[in-house]
Amino acid sequence: MGNWITSDFEVPEKLEMDRFRLRMLTVNDVVKDYDAVMLSRSKIAGVFGPKSDWPRADLSLEQDLIDLGWHQKEFQRRSSFAYTVMSADESVCLGCVYIDPSKQEDTDATVIVWVRADSGIDEDLFASVKSWLQTDWPFQKVAYPGREISWQDYAKEN
Domains of the chain by start residue, with CATH: 14-157 (3.40.630.30)
Q: Using only the alpha carbons of the chain, give its radius of gyration.
A: 15
pLDDT band at 1 (very low <50, low <70, confident <90, very high): very low
Q: In percent, how much of the chain has pLDDT > 70?
A: 97
Rounded to an integer, what distance in angstroms lies between the CA atom of residue 136 and that of residue 31?
30
Res 156: pLDDT: 79
Which tens digits make up the pLDDT trace of 102-145? 988 889 999 999 999 999 999 999 999 999 999 999 999 999 99
Task: Tell me which amino acid residue 138 is.
Answer: P
Handedness of CA 44, 34, 76, 74 (dihedral sign): negative
In this structure, of 10-24, 70-84, 96-110, the range with the lowest mean pLDDT score is 96-110
Rounded to an integer, what distance in angstroms lies between the CA atom of residue 129 and that of residue 102?
17
Rounded to an integer, what distance in angstroms lies between the CA atom of residue 119 and that of residue 134?
24
CA nearest 26: which of 63, 67, 87, 77? 67
Buried b (16+ CB within 10 A) or exposed e, 96-122: bbbbbbbebeebbbbbbbbbbeebebb
Res 75: pLDDT: 97
